Amino acid sequence: METTAATWAVLGLIGLKPRSGYDIKRIVDNSIRHFWAASPGQIYPELKRLERAGWIEGDDVPRGGRPRRVYRITTAGSAALQGWLAGYETRVELRDESLLRIFFSDAAPREQGLGLIAARREGYRQMLTHLESLDDGTGPDPPFVDVVYRWGLDYCRWGIEWCDAQLERLQREEAA
């Protein structure tokens, strides 16, 4: 089966425990979306592909007012997930529309570019506040979930510092 990042995110979440597509979307929105986002338009087709490939199995389970399909990982899916986890090749890809706007801001009035950097700083502050709110005090996360959580906190703190430094630098250069 040809795989994508969506394959591994969905399979990994189901590998932790059986889940519905709705459960997966909720977890993505509350945790991994800070480094990997997925829409229902990605999640539900991926669930169908994984089920066709025999990596997951699903059962219709009544939940609330409507039935949901709850998926569990199969032996073949576990083997595929373990194989992916054992790989060390990783491509770090950054797609950031905010940076793209800042990159082209020389074509706009200077204040607009400075405003984009200030808005980016505010975005980091909001994300940091959200990440800090995820610590519910119920106990430690699994060790590697905690590693990624700490990465998110540090990334946001660094982003705020970086924006402050760039705003100060650009304003100092303008005054000179």
- pLDDT tens-digit profile, the chain (176 residues): 899 888 999 999 999 999 999 999 998 888 887 777 788 889 999 999 999 999 999 999 877 777 889 999 999 999 999 999 998 877 777 778 899 999 999 999 999 999 999 999 999 999 999 999 988 778 788 899 899 999 999 999 999 999 999 999 999 998 88
The beta-strand segments (E) located in 14-165 are 19-20, 56-63, 66-73
Question: Which residue, among 26, 29, 24, 2, has the nearest Cα to 13 in the 3D structure?
Answer: 24
Task: Show Cβ contacts of residue 149 under 8 Å, excluding neighbours closer than 6 positions.
Answer: 131, 134, 135, 141
Quick check: 38 and 25 in contact, CB under 8 A? Answer: yes
Distance in angstroms (rounded) separating the CA atoms of residues 37 and 35: 7
Quick check: 102 and 117 in contact, CB under 8 A? Answer: yes
What count of residues does the chain have? 176
Distance in angstroms (rounded) separating the CA atoms of residues 159 and 176: 26
